[in-house]
Amino acid sequence: MILEPIHDTPARGPHPEWLVSLLPPAPQVAPNHATLVAQELVQLEADVEDALLRAVETDQSLTNLEDELQVPREDFSGVENLSNEYIHNASEFVMISLTGLSAVNYERYQSQVRRHQMSLTQFATSSQRLGEGRREVERFNDHVQRRYSTATLALVRAEVNFSIGIVDQSLE
């Protein structure tokens, strides 16, 4: 005997798609804390990597500018923080005598130094946040390990594996 689906004709009932539309939508499960922390760590690691690349790029740009202007970085330790107003108001002769550079070149140099300092600060901040995130994960893992003994965790794993085996057998 061949069974015919109940939706074979309009007299026998609606199509299953219509019945499914009557069901409420599946509830959305909020990600647990461990998942959120793991996602945040991945993002922080990417931020640190990007910040490091920017710091390396700005350092290379600064080195290239120093080579172009033929001045070593050490020569500017005392005059790096001259204000833009001072640079604009100072005569070309004063700027050259103070820095060995024209006002325009000194502004280029000062701008590149600031860009490099900002990228180093961003790298340090990102690295610090990543370290804090890793410490949070370690604290969470320590809490789990203290709360559940090794034997309890082994039992839970065995139960999960057993349940997976039952599900696999039922699917075959």
Enter the pTM of the model.
Answer: 0.56
Which domain does 105 fall in, by range? 33-144
Residues of the chain falling short of pLDDT 70: 1-31, 72-99, 143-153, 170-172
Instruction: Write the DSSP string, 132-146.
Output: HHHHHHHHHHHHHHH
Question: Would 96 be classed as within a structural domain?
Answer: yes
For 34-67, b where at least 16 C-beta lie within 10 A, e where not — what string? eeebeeebeebeebbeebbebbeebeeebeebbe
In a domain, 4, yes or no: no
> 149 in a domain, yes or no?
no
In a domain, 21, yes or no: no
Task: Give how many domains the chain has, as a whole number.
Answer: 1
Is 41 inside any structural domain?
yes
- 7 within domain boundaries: no
Q: What are phi and psi of 141, to 5 degrees?
A: -65, -40
Q: What is the DSSP letter of 45?
A: H
Q: Does 163 fall in a domain?
A: no
Write out pLDDT tens, residues 66-115.
888 887 666 555 555 555 566 555 656 666 666 677 777 878 888 888 89
Asked whether residue 125 is assigned to any structural domain, the reply reads yes
